[in-house]
Amino acid sequence: MSTSTRLRLGPLPKTESVKLTFTCPSDLKAELDRYAALHAQTYGEATDALALIPHMLAAFMARDRGFRRGTAKGKTPLASTKSADAGRALE
């Protein structure tokens, strides 16, 4: 595990999942693959972009003020905040 690199997304927690399919531009996929390689190097655990995407989205949604205001008004909150909290540990 590298201690000199700090990534916004921390080590990945073990979670249950549901399959979701989406399409993205090839340059975004290349960037996700590069991030996954750096994440694996930093934390010493092999991972790929598919494993990172849900945690990135959860962290993004947890930090979105408009979304948080909406959840405070009785809307359904983000179910998995553990993965978002993992990213906060590195800030």
Mean pLDDT for 42-55 is 91
Q: Does residue 71 surpass a pLDDT of 60?
A: yes
Q: Does residue 44 surpass a pLDDT of 90?
A: yes
Q: How far apart are CA 33 and CA 52, in angstroms?
A: 10
Mean pLDDT for 6-30 is 86
pLDDT for 1 equals 57
52-66 in b/e burial notation, b at 16+ Cβ within 10 A?
A: bbbbbebbebbeeee
Q: Does residue 90 surpass a pLDDT of 60?
A: no
